[in-house]
């Protein structure tokens, strides 16, 4: 299996990691990805990842970057997101973005769709047209950072800025609140749903949890963010725990656990990548993503265009 992880070193949008061999291939950044108008945060900050059958989408501050299936850059979408955009999820015809500073989910139409951008106010439970006004850090109520669509529900995780985290569940057709899951830990990141069970990372307590009482300590100190689950294996990124100003430096690790028994199967060290912001499985079912795999199993890595841009082979 391979994962695509967005990283914070500002030289690269992300890394593709072969979980079997540890081989890494870079997805390079570009000068136009740098937003000099961003104040108090990194001018290049790739975060959420999602895709459909034609394109791959990556959030980068206000930008929604578009790549082909070989992860070669195509364009930037017209819809402007918000500074500090977090996770992305695709549900046709939109890419939905978790936007902590606006306490909302922003829906950007993609792939030539004629729909208008939308915004879902999570706490008012109101869907409305999206006006691209700038969000403010001071308006961040609960730091909504992760989202997951299933056929009939969608889930939104609230980090909650030092208070106990919680997870909201909404009806996918009506956008009405179905339930609130409390007792989920601290600084929650990532969501996965499989077999009627919801899983997530409790970052500050360093463990994977579920709504049926599953608990798996990660066993590595650091900041756990980036979560995938193929039904049998959890994949979790753990980065050095640094201040925001220092997150472009330092190392990270990608851990692979067996769900049953919790055995650590792999521990891949990513040197000098800065903090990992998000990750997705590329060539296997990912119940933390909810869309079909980007690549067929046994995909022969990438294409010639990406190799040229990265300046390396595979």
Is 2-310 a CATH 2.120.10.30 domain? yes
Domain boundaries, the chain: 2-310
Which pLDDT score is estimated for 117?
96
- In this predicted structure, the answer to whether residue 312 has a pLDDT above a threshold of 50 is no
Mean of pLDDT values over 14-32? 95
144 - beta bridge partners? 158
Residue pair 3/228 in contact (Cβ under 8 Å)? The answer is: yes
* CA dist., res. 175 & res. 269, Å (int): 40
259 within 8 A of 232, measured Cβ to Cβ:
yes
| DSSP-derived pairing of the beta strands 88-91 and 188-194 | unpaired
Is residue 58 within 8 Å of residue 44, measured between CB atoms? no
pLDDT at 27 over 80: yes
Q: Is the pLDDT of residue 56 over 70?
A: yes
Please tell me what DSSP assigns to residue 186.
B
What percent of the chain lies above the pLDDT cut of 70?
Answer: 94
Q: What is the pLDDT of residue 311?
A: 41
**CA-CA distance, 140 to 161, in Å (whole number)?**
9
pLDDT of residue 275: 94
Task: Give the pLDDT score at 265.
Answer: 95
Looking at 82-142, which runs of residues are DSSP E strands?
Answer: 88-91, 94-99, 104-109, 118-121, 126-129
Mean pLDDT of 2-29: 95
Q: For residue 307, what pLDDT is reported?
A: 41
R_g over Cα of the chain = 18
Residue with tokens 């179905």: 178
CA 299 from centroid of its chain's CA atoms: 22
Taking only the tens place, the pLDDT of each residue in 71-126 is 999 999 999 999 999 999 999 999 999 999 999 999 999 988 789 999 999 999 99
The stretch 179-192 carries a mean pLDDT of 95
The CA distance from 187 to 145, in Å, is 10
- Report the run of H or E that residue 304 belongs to, with start and end: helix 304-310
Cα distances (Å, whole numbers) of residue 106 to 85, 121, 137, 147, 244: 9, 9, 16, 11, 24
Q: Which two tokens stand for residue 222?
A: 């650091």
CB burial class (10 A; 0-12, 13-18, 19+) of residue 128?
exposed
208-212, long-range: CB < 8 A, 24+ apart: 208/234, 208/236, 208/257, 209/184, 209/185, 211/181
d(CA 277, CA 117): 25
């Amino acid at each position: 299996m391979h994962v695509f992880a967005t990283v914070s070193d500002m030289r690269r949008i992300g890394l593709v990691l072969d979980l079997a061999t540890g081989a890494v291939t870079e997805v390079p950044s570009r000068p136009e990805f740098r937003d000099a108008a961003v104040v108090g945060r990194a001018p290049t900050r790739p975060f959420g990842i999602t895709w459909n059958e034609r394109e791959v989408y990556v959030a980068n501050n206000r930008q929604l970057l578009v790549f082909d299936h070989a992860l070669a850059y195509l364009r930037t979408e017209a819809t402007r997101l918000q500074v500090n955009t977090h996770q992305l999820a695709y549900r046709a015809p939109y890419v939905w973005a978790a936007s902590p500073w606006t306490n909302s989910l922003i829906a950007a139409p993609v792939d030539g769709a004629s729909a208008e951008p939308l915004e879902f106010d999570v706490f008012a439970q109101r869907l409305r047209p999206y006006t691209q006004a700038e969000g403010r850090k001071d308006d961040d109520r609960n730091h909504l950072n992760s989202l997951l669509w299933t056929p009939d529900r969608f889930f939104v995780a609230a980090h909650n800025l030092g208070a106990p985290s919680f997870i909201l569940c909404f009806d996918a057709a009506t956008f009405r609140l179905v339930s609130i899951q409390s007792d989920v830990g601290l600084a929650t990141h990532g969501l996965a749903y499989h077999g009627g069970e919801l899983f997530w990372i409790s970052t500050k307590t360093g463990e994977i949890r579920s709504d049926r009482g599953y608990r798996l300590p990660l066993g590595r100190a650091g900041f756990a963010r980036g979560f995938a689950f193929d039904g049998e294996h959890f994949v979790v990124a753990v980065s050095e725990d640094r201040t925001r100003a220092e997150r472009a430096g330092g190392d990270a690790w990608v851990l692979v656990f067996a769900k049953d028994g919790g055995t650590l199967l792999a521990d891949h060290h990513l040197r000098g990548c800065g903090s990992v912001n998000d990750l997705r499985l590329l060539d296997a079912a990912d119940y933390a993503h909810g869309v079909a795999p980007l690549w067929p199993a046994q995909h022969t890595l990438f294409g010639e265009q990406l190799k040229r841009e990265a300046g390396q082979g595979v």
